[in-house]
Amino acid sequence: MGSWSAGGNVNTARRGAFGLGTSSAAVLAGGYSTGFISTTEEYNGSTWSAGNNLVSTATFYGGGCGTLSAGLKAGGNADGSTTGTLLTETYDGTNWATSTNLNTQRCYLSMCGTQSAAILPGGIHSSALLTSSSWNGSTWSSGGDMPAAKCKQTTGGTQSSALTVAGASTTTTIDVNTAFSYNGSTWSTGTACNTAANQLGGGGDSGSSVIKHGGGPDATPITTTETWNGTSWTTEGNLSAARNYHSSAGNSSSGLAIAGYDGAANRNTTERYGLLVYSYNMVGGGISGGSAPTLQAMLWSGNGGGIGGGAASILQAIIFISSGGGIVGGTASYVWNGSQSYVLTMSGGGIGGSTADIIQAKLFTGSGGGVAGGSAPYSFTLPTFVIPLYWGIFTAANAPITGGAVLSSIKIMRVLDSFLYDWSDTTFKSIGWTTIADIFVEINAVNLPGYYKKEVNVATWNDGWYWIAVDYMGTPRQNSEIEILIMDGKISDYRVCLNADTTISSRLASASYTAPDNAGIDFLEKWVLNKLVESPSGTWKLYDDDGVTVLKTWTWNSGTSTRNKAV
């Protein structure tokens, strides 16, 4: 669910101005203060500062779209009448310049698109209009008629995918909830919003991703906010203060409600909208970091971004993270187990995947992080659970070997699918590695000679076994292997093969023994939870890690001092 929080105040309280840009780089210009004005202000995400004036003062309730460095303004009036103007101006981030006039006089309108491709539906020219005007960067032309006349509405999207919603159907009718969609050539009736309103704010990136907020009659503005996802309207958190005749910037995931009128006076406040991102400080992992504050921010699908890239679709998702846990990739399918974690099934990824599809979720984020990729406005810090891998390198006489890091090698394989770890991007791949092996770091050649270390972050690894092979390519040649079991982003168990090739083969061979077949040497396993229990009296059982499976059984008769062979 989205919510509003306070932004920076504008320098001049006003209503009926037009806004454009993003939530962190916005433009506010024109409107009515104590009179009709042409002043411009720019927003950097926290503070409004003065910019250069518009060419004309005929800007009350005109339309605006584009960006801070490439903005477009059209229509409006300079006297509060319903006649409207033909004036068009463009903005380059510093100065406004006049451009080709509109093909129809309009005011009390909204528009969407860019400085080179925009659509302007409806508005008023003495009466409410059902026509629209299309802009190609140099001239205006007819964009087709809407199903019905509409003015004082909000419009979001692009020239080829737009939605205009709410507003009024005549110059005097108050508050309609109709919506019309545009495909680049034709307008059609869409799904009506939940709350009728006119003189409202809003916008969006496409006809299937739009926000509307505030509006209402002059004396009784409202705080209602709704978003459109292409299928249905959702009621979001209310504006902190009721307002109409206000300006907008940004989109349905990160937007601004600027200035306006509260029923009694012009406002100078700004509110910032975003989806809720909850921040927690977790122990040992999860998606978190530091002592992160709770942010009033929003996670939404970005163009080519979302969580970790690709075509991720993220809609109000819930991800429960346990202490020491995290979200892993692959085809993870988790359910709530009462104490650890719960996530919905993900295909192809999760955090960091390419086609992750996480539905109804909240993202837990850490300070300094955010949603990576594309145009997604927020990011997150991936979970961290770093394990150090230690290795000692010694001669046959057990003398420590120093300076051996450059000749060392470490490789990691995921046992489930035999994918190898690419050190360059910390992902597991079947082919196409950049750095398939890395080297160790010598800990301290003076105080701890012969010992080396390599740190690996395992927090995002799939649950399961991982095979780690280390090799020293100096003299004498040495290698070792270890398998680690990762569960919930941390090591749960391990089993190790202790340098079989060098320690066993070389030394036994040097003592005139025939070297064993190393390929047939089993792993020496460390059992974490196994236990020996006498039950019933005189019968001993060795249990596996699960405490249920019996590995060995034997009996002992203390009276006759006899025992049978363990089976």
Write out pLDDT tens, residues 54-82: 998 778 999 999 999 999 999 999 888 89
Whether residue 255 lies inside any domain: the answer is no
Given a contact cutoff of 8 angstroms between Cβ atoms, the answer to whether 85 and 101 are in contact is: no
Q: Tell whether the model's pLDDT for residue 559 goes beyond 90.
A: no
Given a contact cutoff of 8 angstroms between Cβ atoms, the answer to whether 144 and 132 are in contact is: yes
Candidate from 139-143, 212-216, 466-470 with smallest mean pLDDT: 466-470
Residue 153 shares a structural domain with residue 86: yes
Candidate from 32-41, 90-99, 181-190, 379-388 with smallest mean pLDDT: 379-388
Residue 15 shares a structural domain with residue 110: yes
Whole-number mean pLDDT of the chain? 76
Candidate from 1-15, 223-237, 318-332, 392-406 with smallest mean pLDDT: 318-332
Residue 499 shares a structural domain with residue 434: yes
Given a contact cutoff of 8 angstroms between Cβ atoms, the answer to whether 109 and 164 are in contact is: no
Whether residue 268 lies inside any domain: the answer is no
Residue 95 shares a structural domain with residue 209: yes
Residue 480 shares a structural domain with residue 370: no
Give the pLDDT band of residue 149 (cuts 50, 70, 90): very high
Whether residue 258 lies inside any domain: the answer is no
Whether residue 257 lies inside any domain: the answer is no
Residues 6+ apart with CB under 8 A from 164: 110, 121, 122, 146, 150, 153, 154, 155, 179, 180, 182
The more confident residue out of 504 and 412 is 412
What pLDDT does 275 receive? 67
Give the pLDDT band of residue 361 (cuts 50, 70, 90): very low
The more confident residue out of 387 and 262 is 262
The span from the CA of 21 to the CA of 26, in Å, is 4
Q: Tell whether the model's pLDDT for residue 297 goes beyond 50.
A: no
**Distances, alpha carbon 74 to alpha carbons 32, 68, 126, 215, 247, in Å:** 16, 16, 17, 21, 14
Given a contact cutoff of 8 angstroms between Cβ atoms, the answer to whether 82 and 63 are in contact is: no
Q: Tell whether the model's pLDDT for residue 521 goes beyond 70.
A: no
The span from the CA of 263 to the CA of 246, in Å, is 12
What pLDDT does 382 receive? 43
Whether residue 204 lies inside any domain: the answer is yes
Residue 172, both tokens: 């005097």
Quick one: 466 exposed, middle or buried, by C-beta within 10 A (0-12, 13-18, 19+)? buried
Give the SS3 label for residue 335. Answer: coil
Q: Tell whether the model's pLDDT for residue 468 goes beyond 60.
A: yes
C-alpha torsion sign, points 189, 191, 196, 202: negative
Give the pLDDT band of residue 249 (cuts 50, 70, 90): very high
Give the pLDDT band of residue 194 (cuts 50, 70, 90): very high
Q: Which of 378, 399, 434 is the last residue of a domain?
A: 378
Residue 512 shares a structural domain with residue 411: yes
The span from the CA of 467 to the CA of 485, in Å, is 9
The span from the CA of 320 to the CA of 35, in Å, is 53
Residue 399 sits at φ, ψ, to 5 deg, of: -85, 135
The span from the CA of 457 to the CA of 31, in Å, is 54
Residue 206 domain boundaries:
2-248
Whether residue 179 lies inside any domain: the answer is yes
Given a contact cutoff of 8 angstroms between Cβ atoms, the answer to whether 193 and 212 are in contact is: yes
The more confident residue out of 274 and 292 is 274
Amino acid identity, position 506:
S
Give the SS3 label for residue 409. Answer: strand
Residue 381 per-residue DSSP state = P
Give the pLDDT band of residue 28 (cuts 50, 70, 90): very high
Residue 491 shares a structural domain with residue 554: no
Cα 9–Cα 13–Cα 14 angle in degrees, nearest 5:
125
User: How far from the centroid of its chain's Cα atoms is residue 501's Cα?
Assistant: 47
The more confident residue out of 107 and 364 is 107
Q: Tell whether the model's pLDDT for residue 510 goes beyond 60.
A: no
What pLDDT does 317 receive? 31
Residue 181 shares a structural domain with residue 40: yes
What pLDDT does 276 receive? 52
For residues 86-98, give the mean pLDDT: 96
Residue 539 per-residue DSSP state = E
Residue 407 per-residue DSSP state = G
Whether residue 65 lies inside any domain: the answer is yes
Residue 456 shares a structural domain with residue 396: yes
Q: Tell whether the model's pLDDT for residue 347 goes beyond 90.
A: no
Give the pLDDT band of residue 345 (cuts 50, 70, 90): very low
User: How far from the centroid of its chain's Cα atoms is residue 216's Cα?
Assistant: 33
Q: Give pTM, 2 decimals.
A: 0.54
Residue 179 shares a structural domain with residue 328: no
User: How far from the centroid of its chain's Cα atoms is residue 311's Cα?
Assistant: 12
**Distances, alpha carbon 516 to alpha carbons 68, 89, 502, 506, in Å:** 74, 85, 11, 10
Express as a percent the part of the chain with pLDDT over 70: 70
Tally of domains in the chain: 4
E strand intervals along 68-160: 70-74, 88-91, 96-98, 112-113, 118-121, 124-125, 127-128, 132-135, 140-142, 154-157
The span from the CA of 108 to the CA of 35, in Å, is 17
Taking only the tens place, the pLDDT of each residue in 254-291 is: 899 999 999 999 999 999 998 654 333 222 222 322 22
Residues 6+ apart with CB under 8 A from 430: 417, 418, 419, 420
Residue 342 shares a structural domain with residue 424: no
What pLDDT does 557 receive? 59
Residues 6+ apart with CB under 8 A from 560: none
Whether residue 550 lies inside any domain: the answer is yes
Amino acid identity, position 212:
K
Residue 359 shares a structural domain with residue 304: yes
Q: Tell whether the model's pLDDT for residue 244 goes beyond 50.
A: yes
DSSP element (H, E) containing 6: strand 2-6
Taking only the tens place, the pLDDT of each residue in 114-130 is: 999 999 999 999 999 99
